[in-house]
């Protein structure tokens, strides 16, 4: 049996829960806030924080297996809505996400120590596993570690290089400011893991930079949105208008944003760029200038992002460092070819020249060349759009659930 913990929940956490529950492997789910039919949080979900509560809605039959610790997370969400940045500041704020993760981690460890639950394995995520794993190891409980993004030492190396190359963008890469205590915590979590789950070969490759041996790494790629969520695609592929280019993601140089902007600028009026994503806490002048020049949408619900994708021709996701990049599979779902880098899930799921292109990191010229190709050859764009949709039908969350159970199911048995 498996005890799974995650503070905020998302599509891959939800799928993991479904996989374990359907296989009869889920003992308990620890989180901060979860909504279920008929509970008081359904009333709260109708008011100010409606989108946040809707994102934390789980199937009703998980309610009896869920332990919640909502207070600090609720205060974090309210503070964020009120733009109280000081109290949500990374590592330092009273209601920062780091404290939310650590508090839940401690709650799980205490529950295990008190004998409230007796799982065969604990399944926890980066930054929220140290205390849980520390007690679990002493108690002979298997420790499964989910690493959604690449290992921190590789992240720091790549982003430090980028800060030297593009110093005006350095302030957007917040991970460069992580404290030694936070980084040590990550290493302790990784070192105590019996099995590690990652979503891409790139993430798996970054773990090699750990200063200790790491074994039993399983690559389990994420899935695509359920078909019922898909809007009707209305691609520009048959038209003669400007190529509609889309970027979705946090507006950090970790995502390679400046290289996309350079590529688009080099193509002039032949392309039209839409940027969807939140700005970093620190002001970045070149980013601010770009947001004034191009169409910018700060935030959209998931359905809104899919709708935007249906109105564009191609997604560019030029990340320097990524764990997977769910927007890649979402774009394929909507019939968008994807231009991305080898530091994402691109090499795992794209077929070069058929449903997308994988370019080197930091290569605005390569991005521009692929955009120009798609812009000048609309028949190719249409063909790649169809192949993108076909690829998405094979990248399901059901496959993710099956592969996840196959990978770590043996750890759920003593």
Clarify whether residues 307 and 364 are in a common domain.
yes
Clarify whether residues 134 and 18 are in a common domain.
yes
- pLDDT at residue 237, as a whole number: 46
HSE-up of residue 316 (Cα within 13 Å, Cβ side):
33
pLDDT digits (tens, 9 = 90+) for 222-253: 998 765 555 555 554 445 689 999 999 999 99
- pLDDT at residue 401, as a whole number: 94
pLDDT digits (tens, 9 = 90+) for 59-95: 888 999 999 999 999 999 898 888 888 888 888 889 8
We report the CATH number of the domain holding residue 402 as 3.40.50.2000
Any bridge partners for residue 274, and if so which?
A: 246, 295
Clarify whether residues 130 and 255 are in a common domain.
no
Report the alpha-carbon angle 224-230-235, nearest 5: 105
Clarify whether residues 161 and 302 are in a common domain.
no
Q: Is 99 left (phi over 0), alpha (psi -120 to 50) or beta?
A: alpha
CA distances from 103 to 31, 127, 343, 410 (A): 10, 11, 32, 29
Q: How many CB atoms lie under 10 A from the CB of residue 161?
A: 13
- pLDDT at residue 45, as a whole number: 46
Clarify whether residues 159 and 233 are in a common domain.
no
Clarify whether residues 51 and 199 are in a common domain.
yes
Domain limits at 325? 227-392
Q: How many domains does the chain have?
A: 2
Clarify whether residues 132 and 267 are in a common domain.
no
pTM for the whole structure:
0.89
Q: With 50 as the cut, is the pLDDT of residue 290 above it?
A: yes
Q: 222: burial class by Cβ within 10 Å (0-12, 13-18, 19+)?
A: buried
Using an 8 Å Cβ cutoff, are 66 and 34 in contact? Answer: yes
Mean predicted confidence (pLDDT) in 103-130:
95
Clarify whether residues 405 and 379 are in a common domain.
no
Any bridge partners for residue 30, and if so which?
A: 5, 67
Clarify whether residues 219 and 235 are in a common domain.
no
Clarify whether residues 154 and 32 are in a common domain.
yes
Clarify whether residues 218 and 357 are in a common domain.
no
DSSP track, 379-413: HHHHHHHHHHHHHHTTS-HHHHHHHHHHHHGGGG-
Clarify whether residues 248 and 176 are in a common domain.
no
pLDDT digits (tens, 9 = 90+) for 142-178: 999 999 999 999 999 999 999 999 999 999 998 888 9
Q: Which residue has the tokens 């990374």?
A: 90
- pLDDT at residue 227, as a whole number: 56
């Amino acid at each position: 049996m498996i005890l799974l913990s995650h503070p905020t929940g998302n599509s891959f956490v939800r799928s993991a829960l479904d996989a374990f529950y359907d296989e009869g492997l889920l003992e308990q789910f620890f989180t901060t806030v979860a909504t279920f039919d008929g509970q008081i949080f359904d009333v709260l979900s109708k008011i100010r924080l409606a989108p946040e509560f809707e994102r934390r809605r789980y199937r009703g039959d998980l309610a009896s297996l869920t332990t919640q610790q909502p207070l600090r997370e609720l205060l974090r969400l309210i503070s964020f809505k009120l733009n109280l940045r000081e109290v949500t500041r990374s590592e330092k704020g009273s209601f920062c996400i780091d404290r939310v993760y650590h508090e839940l981690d401690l709650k799980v460890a205490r529950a295990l120590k008190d004998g409230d639950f007796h799982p065969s394995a604990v399944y926890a995520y980066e930054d929220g596993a140290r205390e849980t794993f520390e007690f679990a190891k002493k108690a002979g409980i298997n420790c499964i570690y989910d690493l959604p993004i690449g290992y921190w030492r590789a992240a720091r190396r790549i982003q430090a290089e980028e800060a030297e190359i593009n110093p005006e963008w350095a302030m957007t890469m917040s991970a460069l400011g992580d404290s030694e205590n936070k980084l040590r915590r990550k290493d302790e979590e990784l070192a105590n893991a019996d099995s590690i789950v990652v979503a891409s070969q790139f993430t798996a490759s970054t773990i090699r930079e750990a200063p200790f041996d790491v074994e039993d790494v399983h690559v389990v790629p994420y899935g695509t949105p359920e078909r019922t969520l898909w809007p009707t695609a209305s691609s520009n592929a048959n038209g003669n208008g400007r190529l509609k280019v889309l970027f979705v993601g946090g507006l950090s140089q970790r995502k390679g944003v400046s290289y996309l902007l350079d590529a688009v600028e080099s193509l002039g009026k032949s392309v039209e760029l839409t940027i969807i994503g939140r700005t970093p806490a620190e002001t970045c002048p070149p980013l601010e200038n770009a947001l004034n020049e191009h169409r910018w949408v700060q935030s959209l619900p998931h359905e809104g992002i899919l709708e935007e994708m249906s109105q564009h021709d191609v997604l560019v996701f030029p990340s320097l460092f990524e764990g997977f990049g769910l927007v890649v599979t979402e774009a394929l779902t909507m019939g968008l070819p994807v231009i991305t880098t080898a530091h994402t899930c691109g090499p795992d799921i794209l077929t070069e020249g058929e449903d997308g292109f994988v370019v080197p990191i930091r290569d605005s010229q390569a991005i521009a060349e692929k955009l120009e190709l798609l812009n000048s050859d609309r028949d190719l764009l249409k063909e790649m759009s169809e192949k993108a949709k076909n690829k998405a039908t094979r990248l399901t969350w059901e496959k993710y659930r099956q592969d996840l159970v196959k990978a770590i199911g043996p750890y759920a048995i003593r």
